[in-house]
Amino acid sequence: MVKNILMGTRLLFIDISVALPLLLKQIRRNKLTERERKKLRRTLVDFASVIPIAILMLLPLSVVGHAAILAAIKKYIPALIPSPYSPERLDIVKQLNRTKKMELQL
């Protein structure tokens, strides 16, 4: 669980570092490609959704309370979970890490 949170946070920071130049490009009135616009939009939505999740996690609840809140969010408002913390993206990173380890062993 903690490993997934750290990995998701690292992915979020990578996304933000990629999106900042895109945001600057758009501010300078340069045209973004459709792919760049989607990346920028997704990163901004992810960054905005981290704030409510962080506030909920800072509430003084038990571990079970936090787990119940996260389960309810995943079930009823899945779009509130930032994409770097989604199982799909975390699984891709885990696969990449396993591949790197296999290459090092060869």
**Mean pLDDT of the region 1-15:** 84
The model's pTM = 0.74
Angle between helix 63-76 and helix 34-58 axes, rounded to 10 deg: 150
Interatomic CA distance for residues 65 and 71, integer angstroms: 10
Average pLDDT, the chain: 86
Cα torsion 30, 34, 35, 39: sign: positive
Query: pLDDT tens-digit profile of 58-77?
Result: 888 888 888 888 888 888 88
